[in-house]
Homo-oligomer: A and B are copies of this chain.
Amino acid sequence: MKKIAVLGHGVVGSGVCELFYEKREEFSKKLGEEICLKYILVRRDYPNAAYQELFTRNFDDILNDDEVAVVAEVMGGIEPAYSYVKSLLEKGKSVVTSNKQLVAEKGAELLKLAKEHNVNFMFEGSVAGGVPVIRPMHRCLSANKIEKVCGILNGTTNFILTKMITDGLSFKEALTQAQELGYAERDPSADVEGLDACRKICILASLAFGKHVYPDQVECEGITAITKEDVAYAEAWGGVIKLVGTAVPMPNGKIDVLVAPRFVAKDNLLAHVNDVFNAVQVSCDYVEDLMFYGKGAGKQVTASAVGGDILDCLSAKGTVDSLTWEDSSESVVYDPFKSVFRMYFRFKYDEKEQLDEIREVFSPITELHRKDQPENEIAFVTAFDSASEFASKINVMNTHGVKLLGGIRLL
């Protein structure tokens, strides 16, 4: 008999409990041994839950029960999740989690601890919900050198951008709709400012390139400044605007990591990832370009990933060596000012001379046009240049009285 416990009983937690109630027999058959959910750690009552007898408010019940082999941490946040997970691993229990903040901030340490105790720390559900990404990356691509990871990693912002593109809504209108549908929280800042996507690209970058990338070291731009006009110019250019996380290893050993809205050309499959869907693209030396696509959030979707990890932990013989990365005392993130890309810009000018100057300063450019474009507005895409060069050019224009209305990187 294999026994498991669940920490937390919110959306994901109740999903995991229901999954195990529904599929207990099937899972036992798969494992060749009976599997049983023994404890659920809660902080309040759930009078309607079918499994009252499993609730405990005392973490030590779980920690000190030698029968419990695997624990699912689905509380979210750093504390007390971090302390609990640490103690569990030290006690020789495997832990699985969908808590992206915990993995993004403490992953290297917890993976090391798991290895020291010959158990596992797994987190398939922390990125792109139930879409298999973590395990395919370290297990299936083991013969490959990963050269780039990027993706649409936040369903809320992708829903908002999709509504802005297909229904012509403003950011605010689309956000309101997302909130009404339950896709966005009342305080949507972690989503719309890009922090959630940032945590996920950090996890992917750490796994892909073997060094822990911390969210607070990464440049992160949200979608709150995106306008209908930007959407129209993206369309004129032949693409759409998506919030994309990217991570690319650089020749100096650092990793160029960024979360930002991007112009995505329509011949890139990412441009067609709509609504609350997520997609992760992985480029490798041998297998070239892959994409993994599916729903990035939701009770059952995330429970699927957590459940898969639990089954994997239960059948694993020791630590899965391929799921690992190292910590490092100094930042492994590439200087964002040196980062090179193409950009879309939109400027407002007053004089013909200013227009000439914009064209000269950013040359070579490809101008874009939209319906109802005011006479004193210019929009264009540039050639490749560094972030610092772009910043100094914008600064020049600024001092000459030209107003920047919008700027978005091309993917």
**A residues engaging B (CB < 8 A)?**
19, 23, 27, 30, 32, 124, 129-132, 135-136, 139-144, 267, 269, 272-274, 284-295, 300-301, 303-308, 310-312, 315, 317, 321-322
Contact = CB atoms under 8 A, between A and B. Distances in A.
Contacts of A27: 143
Given A30-B321, A143-B307, A287-B294, 16 more contacts: A130-B286, A130-B287, A131-B287, A132-B132, A132-B141, A136-B136, A139-B312, A143-B303, A143-B311, A269-B269, A269-B293, A288-B294, A289-B295, A290-B294, A291-B291, A291-B293
A-B pairs with the 8 shortest C-beta distances? A143-B307, A132-B140, A130-B287, A286-B304, A287-B304, A290-B294, A291-B293, A132-B136
Task: Give the interface centre of A32, A136, A315 by most chain B CB atoms within 10 Å.
Answer: A136
Contacts of A294: 287-291
A22 to B, nearest CB: 9
B301 A287 contact: yes
Q: Which of A19, A295, A308 has the most CB of B within 10 A?
A: A308
A303 B287 CA distance: 8
A303 B272 CA distance: 29
A64 B305 CA distance: 42
B293 A290 contact: yes
Contact of A290 (B19, B142, B292): B292
A286 B301 contact: yes
A274 B141 CA distance: 23
Contacts of A285: 300
A273 to B, nearest CB: 7
Residue of A292, A307, A310, A312 with highest tally of chain B CB at under 10 A: A292
18 contacts: A30-B322, A32-B321, A130-B286, A132-B132, A132-B141, A135-B139, A135-B140, A139-B139, A140-B305, A141-B308, A142-B308, A144-B304, A269-B269, A272-B272, A288-B294, A289-B294, A291-B292, A292-B292
A21 B222 CA distance: 44
A23 B308 CA distance: 31
B305 A287 contact: yes
A150 to B, nearest CB: 14
A279 B135 CA distance: 18
